[in-house]
């Protein structure tokens, strides 16, 4: 069944960092031509059939199980090549929209495959169901669901042929090694040997999966463990904390802590009521 919902937005809704502007489903998507683009971000997920997307000088095939993203203002057109071309779609706005898509690797309009088509469709169906629920604060409830949708899109979208979720799975032995050995000296070579790859490729995997370098992740693990020590052993000295979480130098521990947390270890203890 063809459906289309444009939720009524309050002034409060439009100040949210993400908010839904429309959602719907077409049994057989008609040809669309927008020389001036569309004013909102759009995601369209293909259920059946296939089509062609034109944007700029690009012409891309869109198959069942794929999605295509349209950024605001990008001239585009799309049409079916195999009918029925069944599509779920949603549009959204908000200051966080571009950031969330960029985190998923989407920096331009185009066609994208996902590692879990069914999960993306389930999110879209849940958002649609919410628009029909009559719930109070409907804009806020839809905003939460759009945020969840974009978070999962970030995990499963296939950029450069592999998803972030795939990279995380490959890194699991490395992450377990860090968890078990954060209090010891850890080198890039140690981490790479966990999954029998080169240090260079390990750095690439971390960048794709976590947007950070491996030893940056090690430091974050150590700082988190230091906070646990402060809570469970309130009388412990800072130099002892530094040693027990794998830092050679208390001063380096303090500088890393402040860089990551925005305050010194002593200030952290104070604001949490620890002596």
Tell me, yes or no, whether 83 and 171 share the same domain.
no
pTM here is 0.69
pLDDT at 68 over 60: yes
Tell me, yes or no, whether 8 and 124 share the same domain.
yes
Confidence of residue 163 (pLDDT cuts 50, 70, 90): low
Tell whether the torsion through CA atoms of 266, 272, 273 and 275 is positive or negative: negative
Question: Domain end: 128, 159, 190, which one?
Answer: 159
Q: Which domain holds residue 63?
A: 3-159
pLDDT at 165 over 90: no
Nearest to 62 by CA among 70, 44, 48, 50: 50
* Residue 165 CB neighbours (<10 A): 18
Tell me, yes or no, whether 242 and 127 share the same domain.
no
Tell me, yes or no, whether 108 and 213 share the same domain.
no
Taking the C-alpha atoms of residue 71 and residue 139, their distance in angstroms, rounded to an integer, is: 22
Q: What's residue 119's pLDDT?
A: 92
Is 116 or 220 the better-scoring residue by pLDDT? 220
Q: Do 181 and 244 touch, CB atoms closer than 8 A?
A: no
> φ, ψ for residue 173 (rounded to 5)?
-60, -35
Q: What is the pLDDT of residues 224-272, one digit of tens each?
A: 999 999 988 878 899 999 999 999 999 999 999 999 999 999 998 888 7
Query: What is the total count of domains within the chain?
Result: 2
Confidence of residue 158 (pLDDT cuts 50, 70, 90): low
> Span 36-50, mean pLDDT?
95
Taking the C-alpha atoms of residue 201 and residue 44, their distance in angstroms, rounded to an integer, is: 33
């Amino acid at each position: 069944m063809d459906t289309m919902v444009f939720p009524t937005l309050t002034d409060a809704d439009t100040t949210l960092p993400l908010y839904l502007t429309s959602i719907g489903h077409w049994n057989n998507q008609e040809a669309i031509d927008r020389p001036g683009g569309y004013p909102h971000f759009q995601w369209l997920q293909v259920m059946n059939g296939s089509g062609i997307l034109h944007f700029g000088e690009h012409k891309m095939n869109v198959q069942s199980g794929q999605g295509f993203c349209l950024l605001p203002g990008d001239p585009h057109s799309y049409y079916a090549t195999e009918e029925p071309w069944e599509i779920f779609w949603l549009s959204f706005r908000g200051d966080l929209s571009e950031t969330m898509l960029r985190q998923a690797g989407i920096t331009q309009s185009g066609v994208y495959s996902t590692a879990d088509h069914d999960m993306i469709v389930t999110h879209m169906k849940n958002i649609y169901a919410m628009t029909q629920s009559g719930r109070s604060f409907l804009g806020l409830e839809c905003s939460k669901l759009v945020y969840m949708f974009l978070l999962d899109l970030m995990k499963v979208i296939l950029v450069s042929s592999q998803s972030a979720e795939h990279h995380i799975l490959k890194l699991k032995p490395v992450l377990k090694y860090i968890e078990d050995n954060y209090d010891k000296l850890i080198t890039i070579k140690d981490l790479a040997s966990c999954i029998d790859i080169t240090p260079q490729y390990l750095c690439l995997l971390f960048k794709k999966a976590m947007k950070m370098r491996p030893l940056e992740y090690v430091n974050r693990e150590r700082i988190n463990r230091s906070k646990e020590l402060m809570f469970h052993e309130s009388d412990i000295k800072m130099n002892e904390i530094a040693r027990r979480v794998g830092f050679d130098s208390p001063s380096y521990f303090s500088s890393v802590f402040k860089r990551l947390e925005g305050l010194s270890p002593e200030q952290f203890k104070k604001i949490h009521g620890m002596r």
